[in-house]
């Protein structure tokens, strides 16, 4: 791609004198708009008294904000997310393999379960689980929010992970199952010894990305069920440190952003490593389960637009349709 | 068996109508804002590119629940920012839509950018060879083709948005999830009520997926 080597993007030419002036004017106008917007927000915040040192300093000067509220909240969030993925993964694997079964009476119910739970908002599943625990079990009242949140997340994410597992198995080159058949393995053996182990590698990045979705969804527990997660701490801190709701929300949002950014970066790093890896087939499930949900016929080993000679990417840093970056909304 | 279905007491259709309205306005808003963000992210102006990148990375990594609650407690309660609404139910309804737009637009932006990447290099080069400026290349040649290739991913975003509108229950917008919460707390038929609401959402999301799947095949650029 010689075209893109001397210009930063194929969407515009290397700027000449007039384009440079135009770009500079745009930059200044846009920058000014941003400054005005930020200034307006700061003014509003200041008028409402949310920028005083007293509201922000506890996060730096008072370690109890962290030890009593933020860190335990973060731990609860991580605990819920951890339980959810650990329980959802085996269920998802079973459902995913079942959807690939040769027998329609296994394939059809598995497909119905997966489609059903994916079509329903996770909050509805949590509400249902919460009430079901209250009616039919003797789970202690204070444990119920965690149980409800984890159950809701498991029901939803098992279905999503089933699709990830299915895509992972189907992303492997056909030769793998052909070879296994050729040396006389049964279907069961092919799946257990050849396909599944490789599929696990292929789906690792998608799994980590799904963890981001799960971490974000745990916040529902704090808002609706009174789970003492990271989100809930904003209310508690605000009640104890002089109504600093803006400050505590900002800090909590930053913690979520850093946590999820780390997970996303880890996922892309894993994906790149597997794609380039010398061992294995290089098959990998794109880190965007949202894309997988669409495909009725699961994805072929991604026809990577980046490496094919006929069509080059317009924005080399951008995501491809196979979904290199990003998680589900 | 169905005596709990007291439409006088529980406004089932009204709740789902609120869900539809939330989805509709949020979808329109996030489509527009997401397209603007995508345009910024591929623009020749570095400030715009930086803004787009930072915005997408920030909002995509915050839980939607936090965004929605921040709209209610931060924007309205702390800053008295009401988006022109008079009374709390209306104000929360509008603020929830604002939150959904701010959050969902990041996914629209990323879907569009991946769509831009499916447009062959030669298209943009030919457009530049004709002497078109960046905005003309984008709006006349690249974006129309990009949109046609991302109907399916955008349909996924729309379906996810439909389901995500339930988060508005966290700030008391009277949509389906809030009504379900109220009903299962007051009535005994847990499975029936949950089934009705599940069916309602399947009714909303399934046709959307089928219709847009058909549209995506029809409008796809044959290459």
Burial of A281 (0-12, 13-18, 19+ CB in 10 A): middle
Domains for chain A: give ranges and CATH numbers.
57-294 (1.10.3720.10)
Q: Kindly report the nearest CA distance between residue A305 and chain B, in angstroms.
A: 7
Interface test with A, best of B61, B167, B175 (most A CBs within 10 A): B61
B44, B128 in Cβ contact below 8 A? no
The residue ranking higher by pLDDT, A295 or B8, is B8
Top residue of B63, B192, B200 to mutate, by most chain A CBs within 10 Å, is B63
Would you call B87 helix, strand, or coil by DSSP? coil
Question: Given this model, what pLDDT does residue A276 score?
Answer: 83
- Report pLDDT digits (tens) over A261-280: 999 999 999 988 888 876 66
Q: What is the pLDDT of residue A315?
A: 58
Smallest CA–CA distance from A41 into chain B, residue? B79
- Nearest Cα to B96, choosing from B142, B141, B59, B65? B65
- Give B143's contacts in chain A (Cβ within 8 Å): none
Residue A312's pLDDT is 47
CB B42 within 8 A of CB A318: yes
Tell me the pLDDT tens digit for each residue of A165-215: 999 999 899 999 999 999 999 998 999 999 988 888 889 999 999 999 999
Contact between A23 and A32 under an 8 Å Cβ cutoff? The reply is no
Q: Which residues of A touch B217 (CB under 8 A)?
A: none
- Taking only the tens place, the pLDDT of each residue in B17-71 is 999 999 999 999 999 999 999 999 999 999 999 999 999 999 999 999 999 999 9
Residues in chain A within 8 Å Cβ distance of B200 = none
| pLDDT at site B85 | 79
Please check the confidence at residue B207 and state whether its pLDDT lies above 50. yes
Q: How many Å apart are CA B166 and CA B154, to the nearest integer?
A: 19
Residue A285, pLDDT score: 80
* Domain B12-219 superfamily per CATH: MetI-like (1.10.3720.10)
Interchain CB distance below 8 Å, A127 and B70: no
Band of residue B78 on the pLDDT scale cut at 50, 70, 90: confident
Averaged pLDDT of chain A:
85
pLDDT score of B20: 96
Q: How many CB atoms lie under 10 A from the CB of residue B222?
A: 3
- Quick one: pLDDT at residue A317? 59
Query: Which residues of chain A make contact with B64, given a CB cutoff of 8 A?
Result: 216, 219, 329
Binned at pLDDT 50, 70 and 90, residue B1 comes out as low
Per-domain residue ranges of chain B: 12-219
A96-124 average pLDDT score: 94
Supply the pLDDT for residue B104: 97
Give ipTM to 2 decimals.
Answer: 0.93
For residue B16, give the nearest of B219, B217, B216, B175 by alpha carbon. B175
| A67, burial (CB in 10 Å: exposed 0-12, middle 13-18, buried 19+) | exposed
SS3 of chain A: the string is CCCCCCCCCCCCCCCCHHHHHHHHHHHHHHHHHHHHHHHHHHHHHHHCCCCCHHHHCHHHHCHHHHHHHHHHHHHHHHHHHHHHHHHHHHHHHHHHHHHCCCCHHHHHHHHHHHHHHHHCCHHHHHHHHHHHHHHHCCCCHHHHHHHHHHHHHHHHHHHHHHHHHHHHHHCCCHHHHHHHHHCCCCHHHHHHHHHHHHHHHHHHHHHHHHHHHHHHHHHHHHHHHCCCCCCHHHHHHHHHCCCCHHHHHHHHHHHHHHHHHHHHHHHHHHHHHHHHCCCCCCCCCCCCHHHHHHCCCCCCCCCCCCCCCCCCCCCCCCCCCCCCCCCCC
| Whole-number Å distance between alpha carbons of A175 and A13 | 45
Interface mutation vs chain B, best among A3, A5, A12, most B CBs within 10 Å: A12
The pLDDT assigned to A308 comes to: 35
Using CB atoms, pick whichever of B113, B164, B197 lies closest to residue A329.
B164
**B138-184: per-residue pLDDT in tens?**
999 999 999 999 999 999 999 999 999 999 999 999 999 999 999 99
Predicted pLDDT at A125: 96
Least-confidence region, from A2-11, A233-242, B15-24, B125-134: A2-11
Lookup: tokens for B183: 């009903």
The confidence score (pLDDT) of residue A321 equals 56
Distance CA A130, CA A136 (A): 10
* Mean pLDDT rounded to a whole number for chain B: 92
Query: How does pLDDT run across A282-328, given as a tens digit for each residue?
Result: 778 876 544 433 333 333 333 333 333 334 456 555 565 544 334 56
Taking residues B80-96, what's their average pLDDT?
A: 87
Note whether B48 contacts A326, CB cutoff 8 Å.
no
Report the phi/psi class of residue B52: left, alpha or beta, with left for phi > 0 and alpha for psi in -120 to 50.
Answer: alpha
CA distance A203 to A45: 45
Q: What is the pLDDT of residue A297?
A: 32
């Amino acid at each position: 791609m010689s075209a893109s080597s001397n210009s930063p993007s194929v969407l515009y030419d290397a700027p000449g004198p007039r384009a440079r002036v135009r770009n500079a004017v745009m930059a200044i106008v846009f920058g000014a708009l941003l400054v005005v917007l930020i200034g307006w927000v700061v003014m509003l915040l200041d008028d409402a008294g949310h920028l005083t040192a007293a509201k922000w300093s506890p996060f730096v000067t008072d370690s109890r904000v962290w030890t009593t509220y933020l860190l335990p909240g973060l731990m609860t969030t991580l605990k819920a997310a951890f339980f959810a993925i650990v329980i959802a993964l085996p269920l998802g694997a079973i459902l995913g393999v079942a959807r690939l079964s040769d027998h329609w009476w296994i394939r059809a119910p598995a497909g119905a379960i997966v489609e059903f739970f994916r079509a329903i908002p996770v909050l509805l599943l949590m509400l249902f689980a919460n009430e079901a625990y209250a009616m039919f079990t003797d789970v202690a009242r204070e444990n119920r929010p965690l149980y409800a949140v984890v159950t809701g997340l498991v029901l939803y994410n098992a279905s999503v992970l089933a699709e990830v597992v299915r895509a992972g198995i189907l992303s492997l080159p056909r030769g793998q199952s052909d070879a296994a058949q050729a040396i006389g393995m049964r279907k069961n053996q092919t799946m257990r010894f050849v396909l599944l182990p490789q599929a696990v590698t292929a789906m690792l990045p998608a799994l980590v990305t799904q963890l981001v979705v799960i971490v974000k969804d745990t916040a529902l527990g704090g808002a609706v069920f009174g789970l003492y997660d990271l989100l809930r701490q904003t209310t508690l801190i605000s009640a104890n440190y002089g109504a600093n709701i803006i400050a505590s929300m900002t800090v909590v949002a930053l913690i979520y952003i850093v946590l999820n950014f780390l997970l996303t970066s880890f996922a892309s790093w894993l994906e790149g490593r597997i794609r380039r890896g010398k061992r294995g087939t290089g098959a990998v499930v794109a880190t965007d389960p949202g894309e997988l949900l669409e495909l009725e016929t699961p994805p072929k080993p991604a026809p990577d637009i980046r490496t094919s000679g006929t069509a080059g990417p317009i924005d080399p840093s951008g995501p491809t349709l196979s979904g290199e970056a990003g998680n589900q909304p | 068996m169905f005596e709990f279905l007291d439409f006088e007491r529980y406004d089932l259709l009204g709740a789902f109508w609120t869900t539809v309205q939330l989805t509709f306005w949020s979808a329109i808003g996030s489509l527009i804002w997401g397209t603007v963000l995508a345009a910024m992210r591929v623009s020749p102006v570095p400030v715009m590119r930086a803004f787009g990148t930072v915005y997408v990375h920030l909002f995509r990594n915050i839980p939607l629940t936090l965004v929605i609650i921040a709209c209610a407690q931060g924007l309205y309660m702390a800053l008295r920012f009401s988006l022109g609404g008079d009374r709390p139910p209306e104000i929360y309804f509008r603020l929830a839509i604002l939150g959904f737009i701010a959050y969902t637009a990041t996914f629209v932006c990323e879907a569009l950018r991946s769509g831009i990447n499916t447009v062959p290099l030669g298209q943009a080069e030919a457009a530049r060879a004709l002497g078109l400026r960046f905005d003309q290349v984008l709006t006349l040649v690249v974006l129309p083709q990009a949109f046609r290739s991302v109907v399916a991913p955008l349909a996924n975003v729309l379906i996810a948005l439909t389901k995500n509108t339930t988060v508005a229950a966290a700030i008391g917008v009277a949509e389906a999830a809030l009504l379900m919460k109220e009903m299962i707390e007051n009535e005994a038929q847990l499975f029936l009520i949950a089934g009705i609401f599940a069916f309602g959402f399947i009714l909303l999301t399934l046709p959307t997926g089928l219709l847009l799947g058909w549209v995506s095949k029809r409008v796809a650029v044959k290459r």
